Structure 1
Amino acid sequence: MDYEKLYITGEWIPGASGTFIDVENPATREIFARVPAGNAEDVDKAAKAAHAAFPAWAAKTLDERIALMEKFLEIFRSQEDGLIDITIKELGSPWAFTKGSQVEYQYVRTRSYIDLAPTVPMVEKMAESTTYREPVGVVGCITPWNYPLGQVIQKIIPALLMGNTIILKPSQHTPLSAYWLVDAFEKAGFPKGVFNLVTGRGGEVGNALSSHPLVDMISFTGSTKGGVTVSKHALESVKRISLELGGKSPYVILKAEDHDYNKPIHLCFNTIFLNSGQTCTAFSRLLIPESEKETIEKQLVEIAKEYTVGDPEDHNVKLGPVSSRAQYDKITSYIKKGVEEGATLLYGEVPKDLGETGGYYIHPVIFTDVKNSMTIAQDEIFGPVLCVITYKDIDDAVAIANDVRYGLNAGVYGPKQEAIAVAHRIQSGNVYINDSPRDTAAPFGGYKESGIGREGGVYGMIEFTQQKALFDTCKE
């Protein structure tokens, strides 16, 4: 795979700047690849290509677009071993997690979009009119590094199925897996210009995409700060905007009569520790009954020992390194801040200063005696750091859960009907009840500063359409 080119108008071409961005393996700190440092000139080429390709692509029937997407999915599936390998190298996520969540789950997502596409209400008959849904046009997709395949699939598959053309800017830290997707689209026979790849830095390529007059919509996933910046640029030309942003998600454990919290603790840990906590939906605030504090803390410590840290190539390891030196330093500073604020380190330790060699490894950390007003309870740390907060009663638990500027994800574990009642009171776009699985057909997105719009299922496809009403009942 040649990572030193951009993909525009169905061709692999050099970047206009002639400069590159290094890609580092966070487990070894080795620079093992590089991609073009794209710029505004590259974005302009891609925008013109996507704009030119749009009319013919939008004119294709849904069946024609689905047929091409079926070919893409077949090729995408055949890439599994290569995708696992490159994701481990560029992100550092462990083999088992990479295989299941980073790669195989993306086949499930793609399949879900293909199957649901025919059910999208593209034509609705009203009393005196007919409403049609049409593609938006050229969509600029800006994606983060933590799920380098998943975050791309969530955008490009529904957008393409709905008849839009794409310019993808993957994260500069984990851009390589996107090249495999381009390869699959090319081999599947997608028309030239329908899908374009421009790598580069967010401040350059992202801003150029957001400002370009031929780009009709921006779909962004990343930090709330980054989303605000992108939105300001996009609104200068009144583009459509879809934002999937940060989270500080609460996980409320209701009191259990048998005092056994093994299952909910595992469910919580799987979100905040796997992928080294680099997940926007991670349950980073664990809310527990005040009366059960001592019991639950003992179980937390015992179960945390299962979450081993080490070489991501090891099939038995659960946590690899965090993604970069910047992430390592940021997470370390928050752990230090938690100690300074008076929280108790129940499990784990403050990471040591990095030496000249070795990866960016941070072991799981559990803080207890956390007040929800503390910085570590309010800011998205984006690392394997759990804040344990006690509540007095259900009203107190709900108040604590909602006392944050985010509202992306939440969970409640306990007697089903009581848990559902609590879930309805939490201000969040998604709430998991007990061990309910994720549903690819459900809408995904947040309240408050966690975003605008939805991804996933029919709702994720509607996001890439715009409505037109024809008033067609006049008498001839």
Structure 2
Amino acid sequence: MTLTMRSHLEDVGLKPGLLYIDGEWGGAVDGATWTHHHPATGEEVADLAVASASDVDSAVAAARRAFDESDWAGWRAQRRIALLRRCGALLREHADELRAVQALDNSVPVGFGAGVYAVSVEVAADVFDHHAGWVDKLGGETLAPYQGGDHLAMTFREPIGVVAAILPWNAPFLLLAQKVAPALATGCTVVLKPSEYCTFTVLRMVELLESAGVPKGVLNVVTGPGDPTGERLITHPDVDKISFTGSRAVGSRIVEASASTMTRVSLELGGKSPAVVFDDAADVGLAAATTIGAVTLGLSGQACVANTRALVHRSVYDEFLAAAEGMAGMVSYGDPFDPAVMSAPLINGRQLDRVLGYIDKGTAEGARLVTGGERLGGDYAGGNFVAPTIFADVDNSSTLAQEEIFGPVLAVVPFDDEDEAVAMANDTEYGLGASVFSADAQRTFRMARRIRAGTVCLNGFQIEPHLPFGGFKQSGLGREGGRSSIEAYTELKTVLMPLGDEMM
């Protein structure tokens, strides 16, 4: 039977895709809308408002007033902590509803979203709880006078101001929390722009944060594509900081736009992360399952930190490939509301064509196609489904090994020794993540120190809400999570105060 989302649309009952500006929900001033089509079926899901430059101006002005003219930035710690905890509690309370809305947005299966912490509502709630713990610890230092004398030398951390937070479509729960929670914890105000391919999940989360008691103007939402909505937001002179997760091309544009005003910028721009599997890995089959799972399950490889390169010791190469191929054959697609479904389609037709183009290029460049490589037909022909794809004997300098494909494609590269593995792992423009599989604890730690990546996981993979996340090289600027988030959303101020009649 041909896949359809009609009954789920009726059951979930999506609300209109409106803007949220200065505590009010409404459409764009010019009435412009954009129609979202479901990636698994091509069916129309709903229309959302496209914020014009004028709408963005209104949202930024509301955030500016809330920061400059209200008491928000000066809230006492006790009050702010209680607000962030209410936000986390409401997200947990509405987890089932949020997963259902997300399934209509980006088609991440509800079962996967419930069972995998990194893409769950639970991780978002934990991020809010974690940042609640920072509110009463936003301290500076009192330093001894360097030149002597009777005065105080002090530092303070103060909120940076109005934040433009721009989200991708693939992980709305985690990424909204990673940007909004530290902003609220430090006393900033926010203009949030979700991807047009995952708007309704973000709007429902914002409704919950509103009901938790976030004041008018502190959190605003403008929806729509990069042009005109995103472009106006990143070039707005009253924005003090831009926090963006997405493509390297857009990240480069943001850096360019911020240069004239010195707007603060945090960027997470993707990766080509290696999984390095040594011959002494405790379980090569588990290493293969972990690696191919990250590329095929849930988001179907549409995750910035996924290990899309497997660097495998030659002596266990065939064992790894056999296990990975077996796992790939077990991946199930279809209705994201079906508990048995494990993976999503690609987000849109443009991404489908892009991934299929990379597969064709991999074959043309001489890599060996082990499995997959085709678009799924039959009942799935209306969606953007690509079969789990594994290429073997990949040259580490080839397109497959160097460029971020953002789809269910794994490039497997053989190596002979540790130094060669390090060289291959670092031979990339990116540096977001990496994994190392070995039973030798000293080797895993050596590799962790030698690989140039923001996060290196040893014999597994995990996301934690209190750890910094971000990348080296062209994977971005700055970090999100933990103390790093607090520092990214504050400015450091030095204050000097004489205690007597000395001249400073």
1:353 Cα deviation from its structure 2 partner: 8.1
Question: What is the CA–CA distance in structure 2 between the aligned matches of 1:233 and 1:474, rounded to whole Å?
Answer: 44
Residue 51 of structure 1: aligned partner = 64
After superposition, where does 1:276-295 map in structure 2 within 5 Å? Answer: 276-295=300-319
SS of residue paired to 1:449: helix
Residue 329 of structure 1: aligned partner = 353
Alignment pair present for 1:17 and 2:30: yes
Residue 316 of structure 1: aligned partner = 340
Alignment pair present for 1:87 and 2:110: no
1:473 Cα deviation from its structure 2 partner: 4.7
Question: What is the CA–CA distance in structure 2 between the aligned matches of 1:179 and 1:8, rounded to whole Å?
Answer: 12
SS of residue paired to 2:180: helix
Q: Is the 8 A contact 2:435 2:461 kept in 1?
A: no
Residue 187 of structure 1: aligned partner = 211
Q: Is the 8 A contact 2:107 2:336 kept in 1?
A: yes
Question: What is the CA–CA distance in structure 1 between the aligned matches of 2:87 and 2:171, rounded to whole Å?
Answer: 20
Question: What is the CA–CA distance in structure 2 between the aligned matches of 1:357 and 1:99, rounded to whole Å?
Answer: 27
The Cα offsets for residues 251-298 of structure 1, whole Å up to 9 and x where unpaired, read as: 10111277x412211221232112100100000000011222222222
| Percent of pairs with identical residues | 38
The Cα offsets for residues 386-410 of structure 1, whole Å up to 9 and x where unpaired, read as: 0000112100000000000000001
Residue 47 of structure 2: aligned partner = 34
Q: CA 1:20 to 1:254, structure 2 compared with 1: closer, same or farther past 3 Å? A: same
After superposition, where does 1:225-374 map in structure 2 within 5 Å? Answer: 225-256=249-280, 260-274=283-297, 275-351=299-375, 358-374=382-398
Q: CA 1:17 to 1:149, structure 2 compared with 1: closer, same or farther past 3 Å? A: farther
Q: Is the 8 A contact 1:94 1:318 kept in 2?
A: yes
The Cα offsets for residues 165-213 of structure 1, whole Å up to 9 and x where unpaired, read as: 0000000111111111221122122211000000011132111111111
SS of residue paired to 1:149: helix
Aligned equivalent of 2:478, options 444, 450, 453? 453
**1:374 is aligned with what amino acid?**
S
SS of residue paired to 2:60: helix
Residue 149 of structure 1: aligned partner = 173
Q: CA 1:115 to 1:306, structure 2 compared with 1: closer, same or farther past 3 Å? A: farther
SS of residue paired to 2:46: strand
Question: What is the CA–CA distance in structure 2 between the aligned matches of 1:475 and 1:125, rounded to whole Å?
Answer: 17
The Cα offsets for residues 431-455 of structure 1, whole Å up to 9 and x where unpaired, read as: 0011363322111010000000100
Aligned equivalent of 1:104, options 103, 116, 122? 122
Residue 127 of structure 1: aligned partner = 144
Aligned equivalent of 1:432, options 457, 480, 487? 457
Alignment pair present for 1:417 and 2:442: yes
Runs of 4+ in 1 over 6 A off after TM superposition: 352-356
Structure 2 unmatched ranges of 5 or more: 1-13, 146-152
Q: Is the 8 A contact 1:206 1:230 kept in 2?
A: no
Alignment pair present for 1:469 and 2:500: no
Question: What is the CA–CA distance in structure 2 between the aligned matches of 1:226 and 1:445, rounded to whole Å?
Answer: 16
Residue 228 of structure 2: aligned partner = 204
Question: What is the CA–CA distance in structure 1 between the aligned matches of 2:378 and 2:62, rounded to whole Å?
Answer: 45
Mean Cα deviation higher: 394-403 or 264-273: 264-273
The Cα offsets for residues 190-249 of structure 1, whole Å up to 9 and x where unpaired, read as: 211000000011132111111111111111110111101122112221101110111000
Q: Is the 8 A contact 2:376 2:386 kept in 1?
A: no
Mean Cα deviation higher: 37-46 or 70-79: 70-79
Question: What is the CA–CA distance in structure 2 between the aligned matches of 1:44 and 1:117, rounded to whole Å?
Answer: 29
Q: Is the 8 A contact 1:162 1:464 kept in 2?
A: yes
1:355 Cα deviation from its structure 2 partner: 10
Residue 61 of structure 1: aligned partner = 76
Question: What is the CA–CA distance in structure 2 between the aligned matches of 1:463 and 1:257, rounded to whole Å?
Answer: 38
Question: What is the CA–CA distance in structure 2 between the aligned matches of 1:334 and 1:290, rounded to whole Å?
Answer: 25
The Cα offsets for residues 36-84 of structure 1, whole Å up to 9 and x where unpaired, read as: 1111100110111000000321111222212122222222222212211
Q: Is the 8 A contact 2:27 2:49 kept in 1?
A: yes
Question: What is the CA–CA distance in structure 1 between the aligned matches of 2:91 and 2:354, rounded to whole Å?
Answer: 35
Q: Is the 8 A contact 1:5 1:13 kept in 2?
A: yes
Alignment pair present for 1:8 and 2:26: no
Q: Is the 8 A contact 1:92 1:312 kept in 2?
A: yes
1:34 Cα deviation from its structure 2 partner: 1.1
Question: What is the CA–CA distance in structure 2 between the aligned matches of 1:428 and 1:172, rounded to whole Å?
Answer: 30
**1:387 is aligned with what amino acid?**
A
The Cα offsets for residues 124-172 of structure 1, whole Å up to 9 and x where unpaired, read as: 1222311100000000001101112221111011111110000000001
Question: What is the CA–CA distance in structure 2 between the aligned matches of 1:218 and 1:58, rounded to whole Å?
Answer: 18
Q: CA 1:4 to 1:352, structure 2 compared with 1: closer, same or farther past 3 Å? A: closer
**2:32 is aligned with what amino acid?**
T
1:311 Cα deviation from its structure 2 partner: 2.3
Aligned equivalent of 1:115, options 111, 117, 133? 133
1:426 Cα deviation from its structure 2 partner: 0.3
**1:270 is aligned with what amino acid?**
G
Alignment pair present for 1:75 and 2:99: no
SS of residue paired to 2:300: helix
Count the aligned residue pairs: 474
Residue 201 of structure 2: aligned partner = 177
Q: TM-score, normalised by structure 1?
A: 0.96
Question: What is the CA–CA distance in structure 2 between the aligned matches of 1:130 and 1:41, rounded to whole Å?
Answer: 42
Q: Is the 8 A contact 2:376 2:385 kept in 1?
A: no
**2:131 is aligned with what amino acid?**
Y
**1:292 is aligned with what amino acid?**
V
Structure 1 unmatched ranges of 5 or more: none
SS of residue paired to 1:123: coil
**2:112 is aligned with what amino acid?**
F
**1:371 is aligned with what amino acid?**
D
Q: Is the 8 A contact 2:80 2:132 kept in 1?
A: no
Q: CA 1:45 to 1:219, structure 2 compared with 1: closer, same or farther past 3 Å? A: same
Q: Is the 8 A contact 1:25 1:91 kept in 2?
A: yes
**1:111 is aligned with what amino acid?**
D
Question: What is the CA–CA distance in structure 2 between the aligned matches of 1:22 and 1:468, rounded to whole Å?
Answer: 46
SS of residue paired to 2:192: strand
Question: What is the CA–CA distance in structure 2 between the aligned matches of 1:354 and 1:327, rounded to whole Å?
Answer: 20
Question: What is the CA–CA distance in structure 1 between the aligned matches of 2:392 and 2:447, rounded to whole Å?
Answer: 23
CA RMSD of superposed structures (Å): 1.8
SS of residue paired to 1:406: coil
Q: Is the 8 A contact 2:159 2:490 kept in 1?
A: yes
